[in-house]
Every structure is written in C-alpha cells, then in structure tokens.
Amino acid sequence: MFTRILKFDVFNRSKLEFLNYIEKFSKVNIVSGNPEILYNGLNDSRLLRSFTSKSTVIIPDGLGTVLASKIVRPSVKEKIAGIEVMEALIEKCSEEGNPIYLLGARQNILENCIKNLKIKYPNLNIAGSHNGYFDLDECEDIIQNIKESGAHILFVAMGAPRQDIFIAENMDRLPCRVYMGVGGSFDVFSGKTKRAPAWMIKSGLEWLYRVFKEPWRIRRLSSIPKFLLKVIVCNKRFSQ
C-alpha cells in the first residue's frame, strides 16, 4: 500500500483506493507529495515530523515522485493529483452535509473560488474562510474562527512550505477531521487559472503546461533533479 521514498511512505495505489483508505482515520493530514514538498520535508524538522506522522498520508502528486517510485520499487499505481482529491472530498461533503473551511489565496481569488464552488455544488456548506495573508505567529483569531466553524475539512492554499507549516503547527489544536494543503487549487476553482488539457495530465506533462502559463514556476523545478539524485544515491547505497 506504500512505497518508501527516502524518509517518506507514499501511498502507491489508486485514487479511489486512497479515498477509501482515509475513511478509517479520526484525523488525517493529506500531503500532496511532489518533489518540492518532500524535499522541503527533508530539510525542516517540523515538516519531517508532520510528514512521517501516523496521522499523515502522502499521495504521489508529481511526475518526479512517480519516477522516484520506479527507482526504489514498488512503483506507484498512478499519479494522484491533489486538486482531484480536493474536488472528490468537496463532492462528498456536499452529498453528506459536512462543512468545509477554505484558508488561503488573495481575497478576490478566495471569494471567486467560493462563488464557483457554490454554483457547482449548491448543497456545499462552506462554514468559513480567510485569505492567506496573515502572520503565522499571530493568527489566534483565525484558529478560533476555524474551531467555531465546525468544519469537517480544512483546505489550506498558501503554497509550500507555508501551508504545510500551518497544518503541522495547528492540526493538534483544531477539531477538523481532514487537513489538506492544496497549493494553487483555489486559483483553479476561482477561474483565474486552468488545468492542463486532459491529454497532458494523462501523459504526466501538466508541469510543462503550468510552466508555460506561469514561467516563474521554472525556478521551482530545480527541486526535481535534486530530489531524484538523492533517491538514486540512497537507493544505490542501500542496495549494495
């Protein structure tokens, strides 16, 4: 069910199997394990503790992580995109009446995201929201607001590693059942950005589409070769 990649156990079955698997948790942190996020985890003790916790499940969200699994074996069954997991959870909450809380992005992006989600899922209960522009060390009012909202799921869209640090530092203080850092997903739901065409997603080329649309992302791609090199070196060392 899991593939060991460096210090992390990455879920290696299908998205449907993952969604069924997390049902057993009373509280779970879903980490979209692309190379950048996992590399951050190797270099930050707070994130390492969070990512290796029994309450955390890492999904293989990224071509680099899929390639890494092919090196160490067993390889993952499929890439599991965080935004697809987010939407599946939102759909489920809409059907079951479980409230969600949206934290992150700019205020206008957040508002458009909420508007579009309510159009697509009329029964969805968005119990609360707050933009992502606040001091992580001065956010007691936000913590209290999340507590009072009664949210079942907390989606945090503040980019890595900020969103992961927020979850790592506050998950034990909050009553939500599911926590998930979702990066730029609010941008997609708001209509500000679009996902790649289906054929690019299926071919593992979504990253190329995103770099084409947002060239500044190319700087972040440096984490992929660094991550894969580390995987190769460690795998060779342990196989000797």
Cβ distance 13 to 77 under 8 Å? yes
Mean pLDDT of the chain: 94
Residue where the block lists tokens 């909450």 = 93
Cβ distance 66 to 76 under 8 Å? yes
With 90 as the cut, is the pLDDT of residue 113 above it? yes
Digit-coded pLDDT (tens) for 184-194: 999 999 999 98
pTM (predicted TM-score): 0.95
Question: How many other CB atoms are there within 10 angstroms of residue 80's CB atom?
Answer: 28
Digit-coded pLDDT (tens) for 86-106: 999 999 999 999 999 999 999
Residue 56 CA, distance from chain mean position: 11
